[in-house]
Amino acid sequence: MIQTQNLFSRIAGISTLVLCAAGGLLYVKKPVQSVPAKPAPAEIVQAAEVRSLPGQLDNIPLFNSDSPEWVKKEGILLSTFPPDGKKVPAAHLNFAFQGQFNLFAHHFSHTPLNLRTLYIGALLYNPSSAPVTVEVLQAASYLMEPDAPFKQKPALSESPNGEVYSGPGIRAVDSVLRGMRQPDFPEKLLVAPGETALLMNRPIPVRGLEKPINGRSTFVRLKSSGKVYAATLAMYAPQNADGGDPLRGLRQRAPTLEEWQQLLNNGGLAGPRDKTPTPPDGTSGSLIYGRVAGVQQGSGWFAELVDRDAKNLAIPQTGKAISYAISTLRGGTLGTQQVQAGKMLARYPDTAYEAHGNYGVHYNLILPLHNTAQKPQTVAVSLETPLKEDRLSKNGLRFRQPPLDFPYFRGTVRLRYQDDGGYDVTRYVHLWHRVGQVVEPMVKLSLAATETRAVKVDFIYPPDSTPPQVLTVRTLE
């Protein structure tokens, strides 16, 4: 009997054992505590006229090094060097830059063997018989830890001095948007004929972190007086000549220019490789965009958002909205059929066919808002992330409450306008939006009858954001 009772006592929570007066056993089930069911998310459809974004990408090429994102095997991340004389010719895309071009590199290290420090190097090569000067116009490079961890932020934060950020890529493009060049980047590089210069040689340390995971994002604007080739590479910290053991974290050092050149000449592509993307004409299976590793066409998109055959944008009727699509891509054009993703001028076969997301692209937009009414009206300007659609399934953009948990846009937007008091205002706001989130506007203005007032909105599309977005003008009731 005791043994039986002990046995049943082990299943507490399923039933309660009661000894009856008659000597038998009676099982009385415990009442099950009901858990309130979570309410189903509510879909919110915001009526809006969705327009394609006027203008187009410029022709300034962007060196886009984003594959593999998680590096576990050292090697070449992206090389536009000529393949001649290289041990792995297929690792070199043979694309020369001249004049203005941008460089973006975004890579992570995850629990490397013996917690070795991974270095990211960037090289520039002058193939000509004359010296080439490369100006470093703006430049920033940040680690995830401790420089810019991925942390949740309010939906909108004022960030006048760049003090709000939520990831290394977000902080890097924020700094460049403000015109910064970090002090440890040179103002210019003089690359001798037939020589290679080191633009960057930066570590991704993991030792001492709570989790041995770290990453680095870099964004640089450059201007070259002649042709140059570029490469980014990943190498674990070499061992010092004095016998220091890098496998134990002792005397690790940065690679030398000669060691970077040896890796460039003799190495293959870094690994592991990311998912192979779906070809543009693919019609079956999941749509896999893939990571970008190549040269994309276009670094900026300038546009005046006006009505057709007009110089101004007539604000919509009270309670209505006009939305301009931002960073649209295959499978996510929001009914506009406009794909803004930059074309790839050179790429590796297992990487993205387009620069979906347009990381590093400077969207510079002017909205000359015009109140056609004979009375004052309040207008609001918002950057929003509706649920992704290719063709709008309902008469407007779809949002939901609560929004999906994953953040889809996090980054800095610059706003320039004249406020209702007549003063010129420049604001930097950091946005942190989940997909489908209904957000507060970035700015509200009260326009007098027949008044026209311009609002300038610009941002460098932040890495680790997910397209598409919309820039919305809404006349408030």
SS3 state at 379:
strand
Q: Evaluate whether residue 276 is within a structural domain.
A: no
Helix (H) or strand (E) holding 73: none
Give the pLDDT confidence score for residue 15 in this predicted structure. Answer: 38
Q: Look up residue 451 and give its amino acid.
A: E
Both 108 and 21 in one domain: the answer is no
CA distances (Å), 220 to each of 138, 149, 227, in order? 6, 20, 17
Q: What average pLDDT values come out for the chain (477 residues) when binned by 10 residues?
A: 37 37 42 65 92 97 97 98 97 98 98 95 98 98 97 97 97 98 97 98 96 98 98 92 51 93 98 93 85 97 97 96 97 96 97 96 98 97 97 91 92 98 98 96 98 98 96 96
C-alpha distances (whole Å) from 172 to each of 46, 182, 223 are 33, 10, 19
The predicted pLDDT at position 406 comes to 87
- Residue 90's nearest CA partner among 273, 304, 307, 360 is 273
Q: How far apart are CA 396 and CA 214, in angstroms?
A: 40
The SS3 call for residue 369 is: strand
Amino acid (1-letter code) at residue 429: V
Is 5 part of any domain? yes
One domain for residues 97 and 199: yes
The whole-angstrom separation of Cα 338 and Cα 335 is: 8
Helix (H/G/I), strand (E/B), else coil: 251? coil
Structural contact between residues 232 and 77, judged by C-beta atoms closer than 8 angstroms: yes
Secondary element (H or E) of residue 266: helix 257-266
* Nearest Cα residue to 53 out of 304, 343, 381, 426: 304
Report how far residue 112's alpha carbon sits from residue 93's, in angstroms, rounded to the nearest whole number. Answer: 28
| pLDDT value of position 7 | 35
Are 84 and 11 contained in the same domain? no
Indicate whether 9 and 87 sit together in one domain. no
Provide the pLDDT for residue 241.
58
Mark whether 112 and 74 lie in a shared domain: yes
CA–CA dist 154, 382 (Å, integer) = 15
Q: Amino acid letter at 440?
A: E
Determine, yes or no, domain membership for 291.
Answer: no
**Residue positions counted in the chain:** 477
148 and 169 assigned to the same domain: yes
Collect all residues with Cβ–Cβ distance below 8 Å to 145 and sequence separation of at least 6: 209, 214
DSSP-derived secondary structure for 205-248: --TTSSSSEEEEEEEEEEEEEEEEEEEEEEEEPPPPTT---GGG
Give residue 252's pLDDT: 85
- Domain assignment of residue 143, yes or no: yes
Count: domains in the chain: 3
The parent domain of residue 150 ranges over: 68-239+251-266
Distance CA 388, CA 386 (A): 6
Look at residue 286 and tell me if it is in a domain: no
Got the DSSP string for 409-470?
A: EEEEEEEEEE-TTS-EEEEEEEEEEETT-----SEEEEEPTT-EEEEEEEEEPPTT--S-EE
Of the candidates 363, 364, 345, 365, the one whose C-alpha atom is nearest the C-alpha of residue 355 is 345
For every residue of 290-302, DSSP letters joined together read ---EEEEE-SEEE
Contact 450, 371 (CB under 8 A): yes
Question: Does residue 184 fall inside a structural domain?
Answer: yes
Q: Structure tokens of 363?
A: 């969207």
- Output the pLDDT for position 463: 94
C-alpha 464/C-alpha 216 separation (Å) is 12
Residues 456 and 22: their CA atoms lie apart, in Å, by: 87
Tell me: do 311 and 342 sit in the same domain.
Answer: yes
Q: What is the pLDDT of residue 14?
A: 34
Residue 348 near residue 57 (C-beta atoms within 8 A):
no
- Confirm whether 287 is domain-assigned: no
Quick check: bond before 277 cis, omega within 30? no
- Same domain for 468 and 415, yes or no, is yes
Whole-angstrom Cα Rg for the chain: 28
Q: Is the dihedral of CA 191, 192, 195, 197 positive or negative?
A: negative
What pLDDT does residue 383 have? 98
Instruction: Enter the pTM of the model.
Output: 0.89
Instruction: Evaluate whether residue 273 is within a structural domain.
Output: no
Contact predicate 266/258, CB 8 Å: no
Q: Using alpha carbons, select from 61, 243, 213 the residue that is nearest to residue 144.
A: 213
Question: Do 453 and 432 belong to one domain?
Answer: yes
Determine contact, residues 469/384, Cβ cutoff 8 Å: yes
- Quick one: 456 and 359 in the same domain? yes
Q: Do residues 51 and 140 share a domain? A: no
For 147, the token pair is 């420089």
pLDDT score recorded for residue 29: 47
Q: According to the model, what pLDDT value does residue 37 have?
A: 67
- Specify whether 362 is located in the same domain as 444: yes
d(CA 236, CA 213): 15
Q: 439: which 2 tokens?
A: 């957000």
